[in-house]
Amino acid sequence: MNVNLEGLIPLLGGLYAYLLARGVLRASKDPVKNEAWLSKWGPTLKWLAPLVMLFGLLLLFGVL
């Protein structure tokens, strides 16, 4: 099995984006700015972040 550690970058980046989109982590300390960011980027990141994580997993295990 060929493991490529460069796949960790999109995997962890996708996880971070997913946690931001779900509201687990905050994009800003200001609640008003955080809600504005979440309403603007949340819906897109909820479907895009898992794709980025999948891409990272595929890179990690040498499929791509």
Helix (H) or strand (E) segment spanning residue 46 = helix 31-60
pTM above 0.85, yes or no: yes
Q: What is the pLDDT of residues 32-60, one digit of tens each?
A: 999 999 999 999 999 999 999 999 999 99
Residues found in the chain? 64
Q: What is the pLDDT of residues 16-25, one digit of tens each?
A: 999 999 999 9
Query: Using an 8 Å Cβ cutoff, are 48 and 17 in contact?
Result: yes
